[in-house]
Amino acid sequence: MAHPMMDGIWFDKYKADDAEKAHQEKRAQDLGGLVVQASSPSSQTE
């Protein structure tokens, strides 16, 4: 479980948890389209 001090840290809440997902999005954005949720994103990037 996250440290209690992280509770109520609203400004940290909406960082995408998954850095991989952020990367996906960057890629999707670079390709000019919308993000498509891949079932196994890591397999697509490396």
- How far, in Å, CA of 40 to CA of 38, rounded? 5
45 sits near other proteins (criterion: CB under 8 A) = no
| Closer CB to other proteins, 14 or 46, in the complex | 14
Using rule CB under 8 A, residue 46 touches other proteins: no
Question: Considering only residues 2-41, where is the footprint of a second copy by CB under 8 A?
Answer: 10-16, 18-20, 22-23, 25-26
Can residue 13 be called a binding residue for other proteins (CB under 8 A)?
A: yes
